[in-house]
Structure 1
Amino acid sequence: MQPVYPLLALALLSACSPNASHHDGDHAVATSTPAAVTSVAFNEERFRDDIKALSSDEFEGRAPTTRGEQRTLAYLAKAFEEMGLKGAYQGSFLQPVPMVSYTASKEQQVTLAGLPFKYRQDLVLNSHHDNGGVHIDNAPLVFVGYGINAPEYGWNDYQDVDMKGKIAVILVNDPGFARPDSGKFNGKAMTYYGRWNYKFEEASRQGALGALIIHDTEPASYPWSVIENSWTGPQQELVQSHAEQARRIQVEGWLTLDAATRLFTQAGLSLPHLMARAADSAINVPLEQTASIAFKNKAEYANSHNVVATLPGKQQADEHIIYTAHWDHLGKDDSKTDDPIYNGALDNASGTAGILEIARQLAENAKQGQGLARSVTFIATTGEEQGLLGSRYYAANPIYPIAKTVAVLNLDSTNIYGKTKDFTIVGKGQSELENYLIAAAKQQDRIAVAEKNPASGGFFRSDHFSFAKLGVPAVFAGGGSEPVDAATAAYKTQMQASMKGCYHNVCDEYREDWDLSGALEDMQIYYQVTRTLGNSQDWPGYYSGSEFNRLRPAQSAAPESEFASATK
Structure 2
Amino acid sequence: MRRRSYMLALVVLFCGSCLRLQAQDTLMQHYAKEISEAGLKENLTILASDFMEGRETGKRGQRMAASFIRAHFSDNNLLAPVAGDYLQPLELYRVTAGETYVQAGKTRLENYKDVAFFGMEDSGGEMNMPILFVGYGEESVYQQLDVRDKAVLLLSKNTWVGGSKEVMLARDRGAKAVFVCNTETEAEFTRVLAQGKRYVERGRLSLEKPNTSEHVRPGTFVVSPHAAGVIMGTTLSGLKSAAEKKSLKKIKSASIQFRTSIEVASVPTENVLGLVEGTDKKNEILLVTAHYDHVGIKQDGTGDVIHNGADDDGSGTVAVMELARVFAKARREGHGPRRSILFMLVTGEESGLLGSEFYAEHPVFSLESTVADLNIDMIGRRDPKHQTGNPYLYVIGADKLSSELNAISERMNSTYSKLDFDYTYNDPSHPDRLYYRSDHWNFAKRNVPIIFYFDGIHEDYHKVTDEVSKIDFPLLRQRAQCVFYTAWELSNIEKRIVNDKTSN
Equivalent residue in structure 1 for 2:86, among 90, 93, 99: 93
In structure 1, the partner of 2:204 is: 235
Q: Summarize the alignment of residues 14-29 of structure 1 with structure 2, pairs less than 5 Å apart.
A: none
Whichever residue aligns with residue 325 of structure 2, its letter is R
Q: How does 1:21-420 map to 2 (within 5 A)?
A: 36=25, 38-39=28-29, 40-41=32-33, 42-104=35-97, 109=101, 119=112, 125-127=118-120, 135-138=126-129, 231-240=200-209, 242=211, 249=216, 251-252=218-219, 294=259, 297-333=262-298, 336-417=301-382, 420=390
Q: Which residue of 2 aligns with 1:466?
A: 442
1:520 and 1:394 mapped to 2: Cα distance?
28
- Residue number in structure 1 paired with 2:8: none
Distance (Å, rounded) in 2 between the aligned partners of 1:164 and 1:458 = 37
1:449 pairs with 2:418: no
CA distances 1:184-214 after superposition (whole Å, capped 9, x unpaired): xxxxxxxxxxx98xxx9xx999999678999
Asked if 1:425 is matched to 2:395, the reply is yes
The residue aligned with 2:479 is: 522
3-state SS, counterpart of residue 285 of structure 2:
strand
The 3-state SS of whatever aligns with 1:454 is: coil
CA distance in 2, matches of 1:350, 1:401: 28
Q: Using a 3 Å threshold, how does the CA distance of structure 1 residues 268 and 480 change in structure 2: closer, same or farther?
A: closer
Match of 1:277 in 2: none
CA contact (8 A) 1:320 1:375 kept: yes
Q: TM-score, normalised by structure 1?
A: 0.62
Local SS of the residue matching 2:438: coil
Q: Please tell me whether the aligned partners of residues 60 and 343 of structure 1 are also in contact (alpha carbons under 8 angstroms).
A: yes
Q: Match for residue 15 of structure 2?
A: none
C-alpha RMSD of matched pairs (Å): 5.1
Whether the 8 Å contact between 2:96 and 2:200 is mirrored in structure 1 is no
Alignment check: 8 A CA contact 2:398 2:452 kept: no
1:408-450 per-residue CA deviation (whole Å, 9 max, x = no partner) reads 1111122312774543223564232333222223231534423
Q: 1:52 to 1:445 in 2, by over 3 A?
A: closer
Percent identical among aligned pairs is: 22
Cα distance change on mapping 1:396 and 1:291 into 2, 3 Å: farther
1:438 aligns with 2:407: no
Stretches of structure 1 lacking an aligned partner (at least 5 in a row)? 1-34, 144-160, 172-194, 216-222, 273-287, 482-495, 550-568
Shift of 1:228: 6.7
Q: 8 Å contact 1:110–1:117 — kept in the other structure?
A: yes
Please name the residue that 2:488 is paired with: 531
**Distance in structure 1 (CA, Å) of the matches to 2:193 and 2:394:** 27
Q: TM-score, normalising length from structure 2?
A: 0.69
How many Å apart are 1:98 and its aligned residue? 1.3
Task: List alignment gaps of at least 5 residues for structure 2.
Answer: 1-23, 135-145, 157-161, 183-191, 245-252
- The C-alpha deviation readout for 1:70-126, integer Å capped at 9, x for no partner, is 211211110111111112211111111111112225x864699x9989849996624
- Letter in structure 2 aligned against 1:434: N
- Residue 293 and residue 241 in structure 1: after superposition, are their counterparts in 2 closer, same or farther (change >3 A)? closer
**Matched residue type, 2:497:** W
CA, structure 1 residues 336+348, in 2 after alignment: closer, same or farther (shift >3 Å)? Answer: farther
Kindly provide the amino acid, as one letter, of the partner of residue 62 in structure 1.
R
In structure 2, the CA distance between the partners of 1:294 and 1:471, relative to structure 1 (3 Å rule), is: same
Distance 1:422 1:224, change over 3 A: farther
Cα contact 1:345–1:508 (8 A) shared by 2: no
Contact conserved, 2:118 with 2:196, CA < 8 A, in 1? no
CA distance in 2, matches of 1:435, 1:319: 20
* Whole-angstrom distance in 2 between the partners of 1:212 and 1:410: 41
Q: Aligned equivalents of 2:265 and 2:398: distance in 1?
A: 40
Q: Tell me the amino acid that sits aligned with residue 87 of structure 2.
A: L
Contact 1:421 1:480 in 2 (8 A): no
Determine the C-alpha separation between the residues in 2 that align with 1:404 and 1:416: 34
Residues 513-554 of structure 1: CA deviation (Å, up to 9, x unaligned)? 43233222221221111111111212342536xxx17xxxxx
Q: SS of the residue aligned with 1:340?
A: strand
Secondary structure, aligned partner of 1:86:
coil
**Residues 222-257 of structure 1 deviation map (CA, whole Å, 9 limit, x = unaligned):** x99997765541322113374xx666845456979x
In structure 2, what is the Cα distance between the partners aligned to 1:468 and 1:317? 22
Give the counterpart letter for 2:409 in structure 1: L
Determine helix, strand or coil for the equivalent of 1:50: helix
Tell me which of the two structures has the higher relative contact order, counting C-alpha pairs closer than 8 angstroms and 6 or more residues apart. 1
Offset of residue 305 of structure 1: 0.8
**In 1: Cα distance, 2:257 partner to 2:500 partner:** 47
Once residues 43 and 343 of structure 2 are traced to their aligned partners in structure 1, the CA distance between those partners, rounded to angstroms, is 16
Q: State the shift of 1:167 in Å.
A: 8.9
Question: Number of residues paired by the alignment?
Answer: 430
Instruction: Output the CA distance in 2 between the equivalents of 1:212 and 1:523.
Output: 49
Cα distance in structure 2, aligned partners of 1:326 and 1:214: 38
Which range moves more in the overlay, 469-478 or 381-390? 469-478
Deviation at 1:339, TM superposition (A): 3.7
Are the structure 2 counterparts of residues 163 and 389 from structure 1 closer, same or farther at C-alpha, using a change threshold of 3 Å? farther
Structure 1 pair 241–511 and aligned structure 2 pair: CA distance change class (3 A): closer
Partner-residue secondary structure (3-state), 1:307: strand
Q: Does the 8 A contact of 2:150 with 2:176 survive in 1?
A: yes
Q: Which moved more, 1:233-242 or 1:374-383?
A: 233-242
Secondary structure of the structure 2 residue equivalent to 1:463: coil
Matched, 1:477 2:453: yes
Q: Distance in 1 between matches of 2:482 and 2:243?
A: 47
Q: Hey, which of these two has a bigger chunk of helix by percent?
A: 2
Q: What is the distance in 1 between the residues matched to 2:300 and 2:220?
A: 21
The 8 Å contact of residues 398 and 449 in structure 2, kept in 1 or not, is answered as no
